[in-house]
Amino acid sequence: MIPLRDYRPSGAVPYVTLLLIIANGLVFLYQQLLGSQFVPSPLGRISQADLFILQYGLIPRELVHMRDLPPLIPIPIWATLFTSMFLHGGIAHIGGNMLYLWIFGDNVEGAMGHLKFLVFYLICGAIAALAQVAVSANSTTPIIGASGAIAGVLGAYLMLFPYSRILTLVFFFFFIRLIQLPAMLILGLWFIYQLILAPTGLGPGGGVAFFAHIGGFVSGALLVYLFKKSHVEVQLFRRRYY
């Protein structure tokens, strides 16, 4: 299932959501401009793009031991909790992340306000990264991507608007349909998917940081109570459709 849009108006221009999408896009463009030209490094000859990811991605072993491994970077190690959120490994990686942020971010931003939403997004992203570090403390594979922070947005959306209708592309072999489904179903299944496949994302070879997704989603679902505007209702039991 691929969500395409929701039908709930955000009530305000989602400036922060738009700026986050633009920022991610610009960083990804910069990564592509670095190209695959090989450069010398303490690890041998690697591409400029890979060197950039090694420097500004979050490397669990570095954070756990608070020791910068080569290649060194000019920022504190803890800062990679945040710089890593703006790095992506390919067009499908950033495309999927930005699609989810665009669909669900505007409503959560509207429910929190611009500044609170930005702080919420960064906190969820940091918690998500720490959740992945907790299960791969000695890994030297960089953790990159906005998906942990966006998972926090998904968790908040689920708590705030569980019955909002989401236009979803559903396909199963030859069955392909556009169907309006409640957010509770879409996001609930997404979270279950992360739980089921979480063990497969671990290992020295890298992969999908499922525990970051889980940590981000849970933190977003809990922190929404602190960040939402006082008049915004958390719809836990009341059945409403939008």
CA end-to-end span of the chain, whole Å? 20
Question: In terms of pTM, does the model score above 0.75?
Answer: yes
Amino acid, single-letter form, for residue 84 = S
- Residues 84, 136, 139, 147: which is the catalytic one? 147
CA distance 70 to 16: 34
- The pLDDT confidence band at residue 205, using thresholds 50, 70 and 90, is very low
The SS3 call for residue 37 is coil
Is pLDDT of 121 > 80? yes
More confident residue, 149 or 42: 149
- Residues 213, 219, 230, 231: which is the catalytic one? 213
Length of the chain, please? 242
C-alpha pair distances (Å), 132 with each of 58, 124, 194, 235: 10, 12, 13, 30
**Closest among 7, 189, 181 to 106, alpha carbons compared:** 7
More confident residue, 204 or 39: 39
CA distance 99 to 129: 20
Answer yes or no: 88 catalytic: no
Q: Given 3-state DSSP classes, what are the helix, strand and coil percentages for the chain, each rounded to the nearest 5?
A: 60, 15, 30
Answer yes or no: 213 catalytic: yes
pLDDT at 49: 87
CA distance 52 to 201: 23
* Mean predicted lDDT score pLDDT of the chain: 88
pLDDT, tens only, 148-197 = 999 999 999 999 999 999 999 988 877 888 999 999 999 999 999 999 88
Task: Say if CB 63 and CB 133 are below 8 A apart.
Answer: yes
Question: Token pair of 232, please?
Answer: 């915004």
Q: How large a percentage of the chain has pLDDT more than 90? A: 63
pLDDT at 41: 65
Q: How large a percentage of the chain has pLDDT more than 70? A: 91
Instruction: Name all domains of the chain by residue range, CATH numbers in brackets.
Output: 2-227 (1.20.1540.10)
Span of 26-40, 48-62, 112-126 with lowest mean pLDDT: 26-40
- The pLDDT confidence band at residue 207, using thresholds 50, 70 and 90, is confident
Contacts 24+ apart (CB under 8 A), 67-71: 69/140, 70/41, 70/42, 70/43, 71/41, 71/42, 71/43
CA distance 33 to 49: 8
Is pLDDT of 241 > 50? no
Is pLDDT of 234 > 70? no
